[in-house]
Every structure is written in structure tokens, then in C-alpha cells.
Amino acid sequence: MRKKSIILVGGPDSGKTNYVGRVWLSLKERKSSLKRAGMPSDIEYIEAICAHILKGEFAGRTDRNMERKDFCVPVQFGEGDITELVVPDFTGELWLNAVVNSELPQDWLDEIEKADSALLFVRVLSPQNIQPLDWVTAREVLRLTGNNDDDHKLPTQVVLCELLRLLEDRLGSQNPEVRPRIAVLVTAWDLLDPAARAAGPMQFLRRQFPLFWGALGDLVRADVGVYGVSIVDGDPERDQAFKDKILASNLADAGSITFESTTGVEVNHDVTLPISWAIS
Amino acid sequence: MTETVCADTECSFSLTGVCARSYSDPEECPYRNGTGGQLNEKAGGSSAGRMVQSVGDGNVVTTIGEPVLSAPVVDPSLPRSGTLGSRDLDLLMRDRYVNLIGIVGLPDAGKTACIASLYLLLAHGMLDGFTYANSKTLIALDEISRGARRWNNGYPEQMTLHTELADDRQAGFLHLRLLREADSKKIDIVVPDLPGEWSRQLITHADSDRFSFLGSAEVLWVMVNGRDFYQSATRQAAIHDTTNLIERLSELLKNARPRLILVSTWRDISDFPRDAFDRIEAYAKPLGFDVELASIASFSENDAVRPGIGISELIVASLTAGSKRENPWPHSESLPNPSERLYLDFRRQA
């Protein structure tokens, strides 16, 4: 069987694990355009994530002492070949460290070079996002708020740019004839107001992370797709009524993907869409 | 020759000749030659000081002289987007067209602050007419802008650290690829981040080796601290220093005359005085420079002046070619005899 590997890249709390859990729900219930061809042999890890989602909760942060987890599932595109999809997941600190200290374990570097495509995660309004104020662009706010705790940390958009540079340099380099694909997943998309959602994920990145937005437009060696991702279309942890509502329905039907197509901003309820695009 | 060493770490037999276990004959000591033969002999000469500790079954457990701990796994390091050396710059320039902007200026003129301000404006999508497209030195740019994020209980005295280079003989360069909104064109600019002492050395000792890269610059920014020109007590000296620097540049550049922009910082305090500019302009004219003036405020304490004001205009001015050359293909009606062969005649007219 052919193998296709998608690598999940993103800092801590960027939504990698929850997204994979939700994708498995869609695959299991056969609700997506991406079809699974049989049952994966090891589902312990992925089921542990799903246990949270099925209770109407988000899975907590991935344990940094945990060993690397690969979620492997056989999938089929249309009537095409059966391909084993391998999705290695690990704590976001690994990726943060790759940028801050310019170090990445050899096996992950190999994984990037072997991978066919990558999903790069950034979460809307994450408390882990670092967007420090400065005296040039936010003088008034800085004067009012004073303390600027994040002044010594690397801003999230710089981390994203550096991860993108790493992916552009190395992703799929063992297979140079194939042009790698990078899907950027803007997670927790439902937290944005309707106007921001309607403008699409690219506009969001332009407003929130101008450096990262610019770098995406300057990518040469890889194709890029940008998706606004919401795994259940709401926050069941803060909104009890919403939680009751989704628990009363099939969770594999919840969630949506927002993306820009030639006709404008589109919303699709198949959450596996970024993966289908990335490996097609 | 062999040296007797006891396996008991407390024993100093090899130094003192006294057995710590109180055996009068060390040969009887179990640590010397008991069942496990725990006393070892360190052989000199050909066996190169190796000592082997054995257990009963004769298996080697430790080889003295080898590391006690296994070496830590070292993760491969990734290339860091720090400043570019001149070799990296050569590679980049071979790859695509790069506008090298030569920034010179005395210490405290605000060279680094200007670059930090430019970067911060881009990082928030606030540079008029341009957006960020890429940078090979993003981490380095972020590092120099870090001071501008500090809250020292108010507006900090110094926004950027004094520039010091790891290699004092080679300039470090910062790269930015900008997307010009007017025509969606991507433009690469490279600026050096140099210590002001280099310019000081250039003035006092004509120490120009380190500035050889200026030969490839399309435009020079002579940065001056606007506050020095504003106060009459320091104005004369400031003009004197600036004209000295321009004269040194004219020697250094030999026949090349890139455009020269006098960039005055601290626009939030005051505008650059006209008479001072006139004097500098008049001084530079015979040296072959048509000095242009740009007044900027990298940061601003003055509420009426926006921080970063003038930087967008400075970039625009630096990217537009200063074309004061003769038009090689003049309109035919302006010529005395349109029937003449213009092409052949051009040199004679010029």
C-alpha cells in the first residue's frame, strides 16, 4: 500500500490534536469526501482524543512527555488507490523550540523531508498567541496599559513565518519532483464575529498577522491553501445551551471549513477538506 | 611499568602506599585481587593509560578514560534567519535584483531605530504603500526591535541597543522584501546595521575598508541626529561632522555617485532647519552629490507626530531612480532639423 504522510505543524494550543480527533469522527462515520478504507490498526490515541470531543469538551494540551503519536488510517480518494495516511502529532513546544532555539530532533526533520504535505495551525484568539505592543504602532495603548509582559518573546507571526520557511526549505525534499502543499488552518474560526468570518481566513491573517500573510504570498516552492476551521462550530465548554444542542445531534455533522475560492468565501461542512486538498 | 590503583574510591594506595582496608600486604586486599579482582592496574606506555574494571564473570563494565555519561543527543540546528554576511549578500544579489541601501551615520544618529521602526510598521501592516513579503533576516529584525516593546514606566530613553557586531571587520546586513501596493511589485532591499563608530573612524582615520560594500549601493542614507541641528549650541558641530562624512564618502566611492539622502531623525522634536540643509547641500555639490533631505521620526514622544512618520516617503524616494540624465531620445520637434539622422547625431548634440 502506498503511504502518504501529512505533518502537523503549529505552536502550543494551536488546535492540532483536536482537529485530528474531529477528522477521525468524520472518517469513522463516513461523512466526508475523504473515505477510509478499513479500520486503522491502532486507534487508542485517537480514541482518547475523541472521548473528549464526544463529551462536548476539547482535548487538553498534548503531554510534552508523551511519545510521538502517529495516527495512521487507510483512505481512498473516489475510486482510486488505497493510501495509508500517516499523521504524526506531537506537542507544540517542539515546533516553538524549532524556531526559538533553531533546533529540531533529527527524526522530525526526517519526517518533514519525507512528508507529502503539511498542515500549519494557528488559533484565533489563543492566549498563547504573542502580539506584543510597541512604541511605533501602539503608542497610545502601551501608554495606557503600561506593562508589556511579552516584550522579550518572539511574536507568533514571526514564529509562523519561520515555520513556513522551514517547511518551504525542507518539506518533501526527498521527493523533489512532487510540489509539496501546505494547508494553513486557522482554528477556532467560530470565535470571530460574523463580519470577520465573511471576509475569509486570508483577510483575517492580513489583519492579525501581516508578516505571515505576506510570507504566504511569497511562497515559491510549495502550494498553499488557507482554511478557517471550526471543529464543532461553537464552544461547548463555555456555552451550555450549545453543548446540549450538539450532544443531542451527531457530532460528526458539526463543524465547518471556511475558504476562499474563485467565487468568493465559501463554507463547507466537510472538515476533512484541507486534508483532501493537501494530499490530492 | 604498572601503577597500582585500588577499585575502592576512598583508597589512596596509589599515592600513599597505605591500604585503606588496613591490609599490611596490599596483595591480600579483596579490592586488589579478590574474587572479582577489583583492584586494577593502570598500565603505562603502550596501553595508553586504560584501566578496566571487571566483575566476577569477567565482563567489562566500565572502561576508564571513556566518558562516564553517554553524549547527549544533539538536535540538528536549523539555519537561523540572522543578519547576512557579505557572502550571503552576494548569493542573494546573484539570485535576484536587490536594492542595497548604504546607511552611514555617527553613533546615536538613529540608524538602528530607523530600521526597527520600518520593521514594526510592516509587522502591523501600517507602512503606507508597502506590505511585507518576506525577509531572510526576520529573527535579526525582531531582535533589534525588541527595545521598542519595553515599557520602562513610560517612554524609554533608548529604544534600540547600541549596535555591536560579532565580527568587527565585516558588516551585517538585514534583508526585507516589500510588496509595493501601487504596482504589486516585489522589491528587495538590503540595509547594513553598522555601529556608528565605523563612521567615526571613517571621518577621523579614513578607515574605509569596511565600507567597501558601499560601492554596490544605489542610494546612501546619511543619518543625522535631528536634535543636534535643532539646538544652536550643537548645530555648527553637527554640520561640520556631516560634511566631513560626505567628503570621506566622496573619496571612498571614487567616481561612483549614488544618490545621497540626508535622513534626519527626531522629526517629533522639530523640523530640520533650512539653513543647515542649504550649507550641507552647497558643500556636497562640488563633491558631485545632489543631497536630498528626508525628515523622519522613528519613534515619537510628541502626540501631534505619528511614530514612523516619513519612513514610507523615505522608502519611496530611495526606490525611485533619480533621473536627471539627458534624454537619449529627444522629441523630434524640439530639434532644429528633424530630417537629420538622430541616432548618429546624438553624441555630437550631447
Question: What's the CA gap between A173 and A176, in Å, rounded?
Answer: 5
User: Which one of B80, B138, B154 has the shortest CB-CB distance to A158?
Assistant: B138
Question: What's the CA gap between B193 and B223, in Å, rounded?
Answer: 12
A129 touches chain B (CB under 8 A): no
Instruction: pLDDT tens for chain A, 280 residues: list them.
Output: 677 888 999 988 899 989 999 999 999 988 888 888 888 888 888 898 899 999 988 988 776 666 777 888 888 877 777 888 888 877 888 888 889 888 888 888 998 998 989 999 999 989 889 988 888 888 888 888 887 777 788 999 999 999 999 999 999 888 888 899 999 999 999 999 999 999 999 999 999 999 999 999 999 999 999 999 999 998 888 899 999 998 998 888 889 999 998 899 999 999 999 999 998 8
User: What DSSP element (H or E) covers A168?
Assistant: helix A156-170
User: What DSSP element (H or E) covers A178?
Assistant: none
Put residue A78 in one of left, alpha, beta given phi > 0 → left and psi -120 to 50 → alpha: left
> Is residue B339 pLDDT above 60, yes or no?
no
* Average pLDDT of the segment spanning B229-244: 94
pLDDT score of B62: 59
Asked whether A198 and A19 are in contact (CB, 8 A), the reply is: no
Q: Which positions in chain B touch A107 (Cβ < 8 Å)? A: none
**Closest among B281, B208, B219, B217 to B248, alpha carbons compared:** B208
Q: How far is B174 from chain A (nearest CA, A)?
A: 15
User: What DSSP element (H or E) covers B271?
Assistant: none
B153 touches chain A (CB under 8 A): yes
**Closest among B313, B236, B233, B234 to B267, alpha carbons compared:** B313
Q: How far is A214 from chain B (nearest CA, A)?
A: 4
A156 touches chain B (CB under 8 A): no
Structure ipTM: 0.92
- Beta-bridged to residue B190, according to DSSP, are B100, B175
| Contact: A139, B307; criterion CB under 8 Å | yes
Asked whether B67 and B184 are in contact (CB, 8 A), the reply is: no
Residue B159 DSSP code: S
| Contact: B145, A134; criterion CB under 8 Å | yes
What lies within 8 Å, CB to CB, of B142 at 6+ separation is A154, A155, A158, B119
Amino acid identity for residue A58 in this structure? F
A222 touches chain B (CB under 8 A): no
Q: Which positions in chain A touch B150 (Cβ < 8 Å)? A: 148, 151
Q: How far is B136 from chain A (nearest CA, A)?
A: 9
Take residue A165 and report the three cell numbers written for it.
520557511
3-class state of residue B272 by DSSP: coil
A265 touches chain B (CB under 8 A): no
Phi/psi at B302 (nearest 5 deg)?
-95, 120
Q: Which positions in chain A touch B126 (Cβ < 8 Å)? A: 137
Asked whether A229 and A170 are in contact (CB, 8 A), the reply is: no
Q: What is the 3-state secondary structure (H, E, C) of A63-117?
A: CCCCCCEEEEEEEECCCCCEEEEEEEECCCHHHHHHHHCCECCHHHHHHHHHCCE
Q: Report the b/e string of A213-234 with b at 16+ CB within 10 A.
A: bbbbbbeeebebbbbbbbbbbb
Q: Which positions in chain B touch A98 (Cβ < 8 Å)? A: 78
CA A199-A203-A206 angle, 5° bins: 165
Take residue B38 and report the three cell numbers written for it.
577489583
Helices (H) and strands (E) in chain A, counts: 11, 9
Question: What's the CA gap between A95 and A112, in Å, rounded?
Answer: 12
Phi/psi at B349 (nearest 5 deg)?
-70, -40
B184 touches chain A (CB under 8 A): no
Asked whether B29 and B19 are in contact (CB, 8 A), the reply is: yes
B132 touches chain A (CB under 8 A): yes
Is B305 exposed, middle or buried, given 0-12, 13-18 or 19+ CB atoms closer than 10 A? Answer: middle
pLDDT score of B49: 41
What lies within 8 Å, CB to CB, of B124 at 6+ separation is A137, A138, A210
Asked whether A210 and B122 are in contact (CB, 8 A), the reply is: yes
| pLDDT, tens digit, 9 for 90 and up, residues B8-64 | 777 777 777 777 777 777 777 777 654 344 444 443 444 444 444 444 454 555 567
Asked whether A183 and A276 are in contact (CB, 8 A), the reply is: no
Question: What's the CA gap between B286 and B298, in Å, rounded?
Answer: 31
Take residue A12 and report the three cell numbers written for it.
502550543
Is A180 exposed, middle or buried, given 0-12, 13-18 or 19+ CB atoms closer than 10 A? Answer: buried
Q: How far is A246 from chain B (nearest CA, A)?
A: 38
Question: What's the CA gap between B38 and B29, in Å, rounded?
Answer: 9
Q: How far is A135 from chain B (nearest CA, A)?
A: 6
User: What DSSP element (H or E) covers B162?
Assistant: none
